[in-house]
A = this chain, B = another copy of it.
Amino acid sequence: MANSKALVVIDMGIDTHQEPLVYMREDCHVCRAEGFNASSRVLLKTNDKHLIATLNIVDNTKLPPDHVGLSRIAIKRLDVTDGDRILVTHAPVILSFSAVRKKVYGHTLSDREILSIVSDISEHRYSDVEIGSFLSVCAGRRLDPGEIISLTQAMVSCGKRLSWSHKGGVFDKHCIGGLPGNRTTPLVVAIVSAAGLIIPKTSSRAITSPAGTADTMETLTNVKLQVKDIQRVVAETGACLAWGGAMNLSPADDLLIRIERALNLDGEGQLIASVLSKKIAAGSTHVIIDIPVGHTAKVRSQTDAEYLSSLFAQVGEACGIQVRCVITDGSRPVGAGIGPVEEARDILAILKQEANAPQDLRDRALMLSAHLLDFAQGDGFDKSRDKARDLLDSGAAWQQFERILAAQGGIKTLPQAGYQKTQTTSIRGVIQSIDNRKLARLAKLAGAPFDPAAGLRLHANVGSHVSRGDALFTLYTDSAGEQDYALAYYRDNPGIFVIGDDK
């Protein structure tokens, strides 16, 4: 770029998540001439790319003259490196934001307006504050079913889309999060694909939890599959267990989810569009949605769960995908392992029918598998559940799981954590409750999911009888420091396990 106003790029090495930041000197002639302030929205241009970013002004001592610093995501999206030249000008007005303002005033948005917003968000034209504004005025049941349908379709149309040519349909399952452990997906995929269903499963990594399905599966095999790898694995086995993050199926969704979590807003409209758009983009035709209900789960009452169910069905139908919701118990952790490796151990124990396999996780996986089998084959829930159990008990599901892992690149040996420490109880009684959120926090303080072997293993769950000296859980960490840190948190939070009288 030969333009005299071009500035020289410096990679600041700063991770600002999805929002691109640009750093300019306070005496920079471009800054002054354009009248930029800290937090101004600016347009960055190379010869062939452009990007809207938020400005931070830096001390003249921190950047050389005529240089401009970029955050990591800005470096990546502009595809530049140190020494390249870019132009910085005022950001254009984002026209779709007038539709957001229309929603501020309580008006219903058209298909086209919603598409323009989602398209601008997908192309990174909104700041985090603007995305937050959009989410805030759409939450609180302010999107009607028509708008949720538009939002779902807009999110699909702004991303990639997979297609499959299987006559019997393409199956998927999704859980509306919140319970530690509860790693049913690999089990369900193994069972139903052993029965012949096509289930090309893509999953996310943990965002706020100690493990996502992709983190757990990564301890067992390669999950970073390209679209062509997924197609090959599914052609060979009928299924896959891949990380969905590299596939760009619904680019707006990743941006929306992060801000929604930061604001702790639980808009059903946004949730439904987020889940269904990814399923539709992945080419699914039949989806089971698991909605756990409990005090510390995402959905807290049966009424809310039923409302959500009916909206899911309505939006699914309009978008040409069959959706069945299953309302489940969300009051306690599911399984014994929490953290990538420990959850993988539970899965292997169940598939290999080991004696110590957690029964609650097995039951849950069978129940969800039964719904999918019934969906596909119409034999009713009870018969389908028997079939699922047969597939598990006969070893067919385990063989199928091994086939999927072989097709993805082979099975790995699970690592051992460097340190382990078992905590016992000094009280005799029955476990009345376990605080799901604090238990998840404990596993994260131990290092999960960053250290895959870190996490914990429950030796008792809600309803267990315990005597003085009985083990409650074993903590796994990769360093003594993390062990101290997590145990200090456990001591400071005596209410994680509530043990009461056993009468």
Interface, chain A (partner B; CB < 8 A): 12-17, 23, 26, 29, 32-35, 37-39, 41, 56-59, 61-62, 71, 97, 101, 104-106, 127-133, 135-137, 139-142, 207, 258-259, 262-265, 441, 444-445, 447, 450, 481-482, 485
Contact = CB atoms under 8 A, between A and B. Distances in A.
A12 B62 contact: yes
Contacts of A57: 14-15
Consensus secondary structure, chain A interface: mixed
Contacts of A258: 39
Nearest to A97: B264
A265 to B, nearest CB: 7
Given A29-B481, A33-B481, 14 more contacts: A13-B59, A13-B61, A14-B56, A17-B37, A32-B482, A35-B444, A39-B258, A41-B262, A101-B140, A105-B141, A129-B262, A129-B263, A132-B132, A136-B137
A264 B71 CA distance: 26
20 contacts: A13-B58, A14-B57, A15-B38, A16-B38, A29-B481, A33-B481, A34-B445, A37-B207, A39-B258, A104-B136, A104-B139, A105-B139, A105-B140, A106-B142, A127-B262, A129-B262, A130-B132, A133-B263, A133-B265, A136-B136
Given A39-B17, A140-B105, A32 B129 contact: no
Given A106-B140, A137-B136, A56 B263 contact: no
A283 B318 CA distance: 59
Contacts of A140: 101, 104-106, 137
Contacts of A39: 16-17, 128, 258, 262
Contacts of A97: 264
Contacts of A127: 262
A33 B482 contact: yes
Contacts of A444: 35
Contacts of A38: 15-17
Nearest to A485: B33
A428 to B, nearest CB: 33
A469 to B, nearest CB: 29
Number of copies: 2
Instruction: Please give me the 4 A-B residue pairs with the lowest Cβ-Cβ distance, nearest first.
Output: A13-B59, A105-B140, A104-B140, A35-B444
Contacts of A58: 12-15
A107 B332 CA distance: 32
A65 to B, nearest CB: 14
A450 B35 CA distance: 8
B445 A33 contact: yes
A34 B61 CA distance: 32
Contacts of A131: 129
Contacts of A259: 129
Contacts of A71: 56
Nearest to A440: B35
A26 B127 CA distance: 24
A130 B128 CA distance: 10
A104 B441 CA distance: 28
A159 B204 CA distance: 46
A264 B101 contact: yes
B445 A56 contact: no
Contact of A447 (B32, B482, B485): B32
A133 B485 CA distance: 34
Contacts of A263: 129-130, 133
A489 to B, nearest CB: 10
B133 A13 contact: no
